[in-house]
Structure 1
Amino acid sequence: MSVLTALARVKAVREGQAQRLVSVRHTHVSDRPLVVVPLRMAGETAAPLAFMIGSDPEAPTLLVAHQPRDRALRFRFLADLADQVLPYIESCRTGAEATTAKSGEEVVVYGDAPQIVVPNGGGIGFLRLIGRSTRFRKAEGPYAVPADVPVLGRWLTWFADRADQPGTANLLSMTSVLGAHWATGQSGLEDGNLAALLGWISPPAGLTGPTAAARAEDPLQCPPAGPATDPGFDNEELKPLMDAYDTASDPAARTVAAGRLEQAVRLQLEPTWRLMWRGIDVLRTLEPGASVATRWNRDRSDFSWFAGKFDEMPPQARRDDAVPAVRNLLKRERALEEFEAHRAFDDPWVMAEYRLTGEACHATVIAAEPLRTVSGGTRKTLRPSIRVRISDEAFSAALGDKYVCVERPKQQATVIAIDSETVELELSGGMGRKLTPEPGTVPEVGDRIGFARFSPASAHPMPTLPPREETPWTHGGPPAEWTPSVYDAQEEWS
């Protein structure tokens, strides 16, 4: 926890209200997200009990597996889930535009991309498990399942993989997104309770954050947001209702038992459903940061690529080979570095954290030479200089250090002189190609500007990795060509 976050938590306790950590929203929120509230069967790792799902807050769809241990009922439930998820995904494949990738290949990018929002990190993990347990299933032969079930599994696996990529917005955990934008007066573990977290951020009328969060601890008033259910509900309501369903003597009795079970589950899910849309409304009150649209465009491109290649590719492998595993790890590290830099450059509140650690600073321009040039071979090059007084004590400069201007991210500044109170910087980039800088590209005397030792564009380059067929013996050697088999679908918990 950073110093400023700790201070925000102290202030939240003192005022009884969550405190914003950011000045803008750093996550894309779709105009039409698909909200998914999942519940699983207690003691069954990947057995879904119920889902409340939909993109309309006033018209949720309730899906219930009346007996999750029954394989036929479970896969019928998953087919119903596919009937909700797959049409939503397909509805995003509109407004296609042909563009040319860096490789020169012509690709199609759709005008939108799907966004699934679940209550918490456990919901993401549960969707991952469902994807893993269904994507290898077959629609024909022994133990056949409905044709849409393995398709759903592949898409859920893709969403779960996207959630692992920092900065993406195709699959979001509501508690994680809210917790990244607000600080509460409770612990990080308690922030995992969606009702308690929203109680601090947006308490009901007449309540403070602490009192609203205290109410959320009562499972009768605020049932758990899943995927696990409350043990009291399991023992006192769910088990008797499932027993009644299992022992029903005729179809009419089973229909009545199913209706009672569905009503009990609905009462467990509806409070979380309302909280989810309340959380979305709260997030929409924040203006998006400047780089949010750029990252969402990348999400659209990745969705478009996967959708376009879907029919050509086999299901995702259970485990990556050595080279793809390293490549994925490096991509995630670079994505995290880029995302953190984007947040700082978009948001002065986030940049303040870096100023405290000496990674960035604010400075006042006290002298400027905008027409300064340097000779390089046979031609001159525009290299304006500015002299600044740095106001951040944690920041220390050394000759030759290179910084990025926060207000002009394409502009670099190199330290060329230092005295006891000021620093002289040589500017390059972002000023045009002439010997006269474009208007507004060089700071003027009296301007307050920021500099950082990092940049969204300075992520470490990807190293050259060997082709798959040249995997070194230290990493198992070249892997055999992988093709899905019936054994891939076999799991101890499925």
Structure 2
Amino acid sequence: MSTLVALARAQALAAGRAQPITTVRHLHVHDRPLVLIPLAMAGEANAPLAAMAGSAPDQPRLLVVSQPRNRDERFAFFAALAEAVVPYLDSFAGVTEAVPVDRGRDVRHRFVDAPQVWVPNPGGVDFLRLLGRSTRFRRTDGDFPVPASVPRLGQWLTFLASTAEVPGSSLLVNAVQALGGHWATGQSAAEDAHLGSLFAWITEGAAAAREAENGPVAGPATDPSFDNEVLAPLITAADPALTGVLSDLLTPTWERMWKSIELLRGRPAGARVGARWDSDRDAYSAYVEHLIEDGSPQPRRDGAVAAAARLQRLENAAARYAVQRAFDDPLVMAEHRLTGAAFGAVVTLAKADRIDDSGKRPVLRPRIMVATTETVRVEPGANLTSPARPSQKAKVISVTPGPAGTDVVLELSGGMGRKLVAEPGSVPEVGEQLLLTTLSEAYRPGAAFPDPADTPWTHGGPPGSSAEADEQEGDVVGAARGGVDQAAAQLFRG
């Protein structure tokens, strides 16, 4: 927990109401999302009890398994869930747009939109991941066949669960994390996991949150007292009243989910939210292409090389998302200013036409001096970036403390055009307020990983193993990504 979030929590406790910890919204909110609330039976691994799904607040569809231990009923539920979910996911695979790549020398195509699925909490994401694993390998012929929509549902759920691991992705969103990333309450993080309590802290206050704690849970787990006193007798007796009871249980969460979406939609989106959604559309487009051309399910596990590459992609995505949040949001950047990773300053001197001719050819290298009263924890030689000019690098030449503050001399490169004269507005002018930080959105190249065949046999290499086969099976998408993260095209890995 950061210092400012801890302060916001203390203020929320004192005020009895949640406090905002961002000034903008840091995720994409779809105009037509799909809300999916899964409910599982207690004591049974991934045994579905019910689900409420729909893409409109007034059109919930309730699916119920009257006997969760009955295999036939369970797979009938999977088929019904596929009918409710898969058409929505497929509905965006229509109109495409051309995206220039290779500096405009070529184009690729992606869909103009992508789906967005909302679940109440991280437990809902985990449930969908397990549900995908248990259905994507089911056979549609032979012994115990299932409808073709069931394994397709499993593949889609596995893809969505994989994207949920990527920081900044908005294809599969859980409401608890989305709300908690924008407001701080006066209760613990564990208590924030209760959607009803968290939502009440934001909209009504602490007193309403205490009342909401006694209300129905948001799944996928159920309340033990409800299981023993209400659910067990109904399932044992095969009572048709079970459907009405489960509808009453899930409806409050359904309503809160849609209100949460509207609450977040009402906040202005950060400047870089759109670019991250472009990456999500790239991932969706690549996976649809895979389903059309290949259609094979994701492997049960990644091989050693694929796992290492995926881990690196997730680490890079986390670092990039943290920087983008700070660049989009002054309140998030304030935390970095407290730690010395950023400082505000005013330009006092500027030489926009400075040419460096010490190399083989002259290059434009303007210098500016900035003055700040904040603590400066950077040394000469460090590279800084301004969110106002993210493509421009400012190298620290000198840091001179004084009685009234600190003067910092910076040498600029990049973002000024390709001529020896800077483009208008590309060099900060005297009097301009700047925010300078060590954070950077610069591209981070990935490491070179060996071919699976070149790894030891313990890691999937010769003389051949299932791990190697799994890795080869998993490498089914290699779409070019241009300026957008290429790794997103492979996010369907399970």
For normalisation by structure 1, the TM-score amounts to 0.90
Q: Does 1:362 align with 2:344?
A: yes
**What is the CA–CA distance in structure 2 between the aligned matches of 1:97 and 1:436, rounded to whole Å?**
36
Question: How far did residue 102 of structure 1 move?
Answer: 5.3
**What corresponds to 2:236 in structure 1?**
243
- Map of 1:247-326 to 2, 5 A cutoff? 257-258=239-240, 260-311=241-292, 312-326=294-308
- Is the alpha carbon distance of 1:216 and 1:108 closer, same or farther for their aligned partners in structure 2, counting shifts above 3 Å? same
- Kept after mapping to 1: 8 A contact 2:272/2:324: yes
Of 285, 310, 328, which aligns to 2:310?
328
Q: CA deviation at 1:349?
A: 0.8
Displacement of 1:471: 2.1
Residue 39 of structure 2 aligns to a residue whose secondary structure is: strand
Instruction: Tell me, yes or no, if structure 1 residue 391 matches structure 2 residue 352.
Output: no
Tell me which of 200, 207, 213 is aligned to 2:209.
Answer: 213
1:342 equivalenced with 2:324 (yes/no): yes
C-alpha contact (below 8 Å) 1:107/1:305 kept by paired residues: no
Partner of 1:443: 428
> Alignment identity in percent?
48
1:137-148 to structure 2, matched below 5 A, reads: 137-148=138-149
Give the whole-Å Cα distance in 2 for the aligned partners of 1:194 and 1:475. 42
Mapping for residues 92-491 of structure 1, pairs under 5 Å: 92-99=92-99, 107-203=108-204, 209-218=205-214, 222-245=215-238, 257-258=239-240, 260-311=241-292, 312-377=294-359, 379-393=361-375, 395-420=376-401, 421-459=406-444, 461-473=445-457, 475-478=459-462, 479-480=464-465, 482=469
* 8 Å Cα contact 2:303-2:470 kept in structure 1: no
SS in 2 for 1:176: helix
Moved more, 368-377 or 357-366: 368-377
- 1:44 maps to what in 2? 44
CA 1:118–1:434: 2 relative to 1, 3 Å: same
Separation (CA, whole Å) in 1 of partners of 2:458 and 2:361: 51
Query: For the Cα contact (< 8 Å) 2:33–2:115, is it kept in 1?
Result: yes
Partner residue in 2 for 1:6: 6
Query: Could you tell me how far 1:262 is from its partner in structure 2?
Result: 0.4
User: How far 1:432 sits from its partner (Å)?
Assistant: 1.5
What is the aligned partner in structure 2 of residue 18 from structure 1?
18
Matched to 1:198, the amino acid is: F
Change (3 A) 1:100 1:428: closer
Is 1:339–1:456's contact at 8 Å kept on the other side of the alignment? Answer: no
Residues in 1 aligned to 2:388 and 2:135: alpha-carbon distance in whole angstroms: 49
Change (3 A) 1:161 1:271: same
Distance 1:373 1:102, change over 3 A: closer
Compared with structure 1, are the counterparts of its residues 369 and 157 closer, same or farther at alpha carbon in structure 2 (3 Å cutoff)?
same
- Report deviation, 1:237: 1.5
The 8 Å contact of residues 108 and 305 in structure 1, kept in 2 or not, is answered as no
Greater Cα shift, 60-69 or 409-418: 409-418
Deviation at 1:284, TM superposition (A): 0.8
Matched position secondary structure for 2:237: helix
Aligned to 2:486: none
Q: Is the 8 A contact 1:76 1:146 kept in 2?
A: no
Residues of 1 paired with 2:102 and 2:212: CA distance?
50
Q: Distance in 2 between matches of 1:94 and 1:277?
A: 26
The one-letter amino acid of 1:464's match is A
Off by >3 Å, runs of 4+ in structure 1: 98-108, 376-379, 478-484
Residue 377 of structure 1 and its aligned partner are, at CA, apart by 3.9
Q: Distance in 2 between matches of 1:376 and 1:95?
A: 53
Q: For residues 187 and 288 of structure 1, what CA distance do their matches in structure 2 show?
A: 27
- Alignment: residue pair count: 462
Residue 366 of structure 1 aligns with an amino acid whose one-letter code is: T
1:440 is displaced (CA, Å) by: 1.4
Query: In the alignment, is residue 64 of structure 1 matched against residue 31 of structure 2?
Result: no
Report the Cα offset of residue 287 of structure 1: 0.6
Please give the secondary structure, in 2, of the residue aligned with 1:117.
strand
Deviation at 1:108, TM superposition (A): 3.2
By how many angstroms is 1:463 displaced?
0.7
* Deviation of the 1:435 alpha carbon: 2.4
With 151-160 and 475-484 compared, the bigger mean Cα shift is at: 475-484
Taking the aligned partners of 1:385 and 1:377, their CA distance within structure 2 comes to 17
Q: Which amino acid aligns with 1:469?
A: A
Task: Name the aligned partner's letter for residue 230 of structure 1.
Answer: D
User: What is the RMSD of the two structures over their aligned residues, measured on CA atoms?
Assistant: 1.8
How far apart in 1 are the matches of 2:442 and 2:374?
Answer: 24
- Work out whether 1:54 is the aligned partner of 2:47: no
Q: CA deviation at 1:316?
A: 1.0
Contact 1:139–1:145 at 8 Å: present in 2 too?
Answer: yes
- Gapped regions of structure 2 (runs ≥ 5): 472-494
Contact 2:300–2:470 under 8 Å retained in 1: no
Q: 2:302–2:470: 8 Å Cα contact kept in structure 1?
A: no
TM-score normalised by length of structure 2: 0.90
